[in-house]
Amino acid sequence: MIIKKFNKKEDYERVIQFLTNCYKENKNMVCWLPERFDDLIFRIDTLYHDERGLEKSADYTYIFEENNEIVGLIVPDGDSFNSCIKTGYEKIFSEMVELSEKELLPLFEKDKDGKVDFLVISHDSLKYQADELLKRGYKKDEAEDYDNVQHPLEKNYQISLPEGFKQVYGEQLDDNMKAKACHYGFHPADDDGILTGTFREGALAYQGRKQSRYFKDSFESLIITDDGDICTYCFCYVDKETSTAFIEPVCTREKYRKQGLSRQMLYGVIIRLKEMGIENAYINSYDWRRKVYNSAGFETEDSIGFWHKKI
């Protein structure tokens, strides 16, 4: 078994093919979608590193190879460990965790005692991982994440909005305004109600994802007011080879919440994906978001455990 650090120039195409093959075999998100990997290394890494000065996840991604074939991948998503393992190679999970406990520490903030709260994320359906983590002294917290999946071809939706609102796909809207609205959705305290003007936080990341191989088929879905104020925002990566879509990020500005706008925005995504012939759309949810996504027809495919250990 050969273990090496991911090099974007040398390994990107191979990793994308590995993730593509894993999805084709499993048909679920126990593996990382290739679109999700692109979101990590082009958008999130730009936000964390170029805008906030933090470490890049791509610099701490590790490839496990056998006979020149990728059989496993360590994918840190910010301050968390995630893995993707080819069927039949489950035994390498133990080695992955051991390596990560040594090499991924710079991604985690240290406590006052100099230790870090090391976080491993694992699908609950992968019992062998839970057994290994328990053996290593990890404890699962009460928080749960969910892989939600919608099958766009199975249901017909119609968008129904309150008077004064409309759903759009965003092609004609200003990039700066969309990036700013997305940021406000996640940081309500920053929302001054003004979407025009200079915007920094998230602007580079918004542009960064345009490097994704999936960008040409991807799109945004938004709800805006009749006078052009952006209320909700989401971005949908589309991979025609796997016939999947990955929706990230999703947000609603605080002053427009609790009106059912997010559900209608997601209906817009599903309608367009259905027109494109895409089979499955995925979205990661947690806490109250699960109810929002389920109300839009997304089904919970698998729950995810958050496993912690002080190192």
Task: Say yes or no: 137 and 40 in one domain.
Answer: yes
- Which CATH number does the domain housing residue 62 bear? 3.40.630.30
Judge whether 49 lies within some domain: yes
Q: What is the DSSP string of 138-173?
A: -EEEEEEEEEEEE-TTT--------TTEEEE-STTS
Task: Say yes or no: 182 and 286 in one domain.
Answer: yes
Cα 282 to chain centroid distance, Å, stands at 9
- Report pLDDT for 197: 82
Model confidence pLDDT, tens digit, residues 220-247: 999 999 999 999 999 999 999 999 999 9
Task: Say yes or no: 186 and 228 in one domain.
Answer: yes
Residue carrying the six token digits 């965790």: 97
Q: How many structural domains is the chain composed of?
A: 2
- Report pLDDT for 149: 93
Q: Is a pLDDT exceeding 80 seen at residue 293?
A: yes
- Report pLDDT for 24: 96
Judge whether 78 lies within some domain: yes
Judge whether 179 lies within some domain: yes
Judge whether 151 lies within some domain: no
Model confidence pLDDT, tens digit, residues 202-222: 899 999 999 999 999 999 999
Q: Is a pLDDT exceeding 90 seen at residue 254?
A: yes
Task: Say yes or no: 184 and 82 in one domain.
Answer: no
Judge whether 292 lies within some domain: yes
Which domain range does residue 56 map to? 2-146+305-310
- Report pLDDT for 133: 98
Name the least confident of 80-84, 175-179, 197-201. Answer: 197-201
262 membership: H or E segment, kind and range: helix 261-276
Task: Say yes or no: 182 and 290 in one domain.
Answer: yes
Judge whether 155 lies within some domain: no
Quick one: pLDDT band at residue 288, thresholds 50, 70, 90? confident
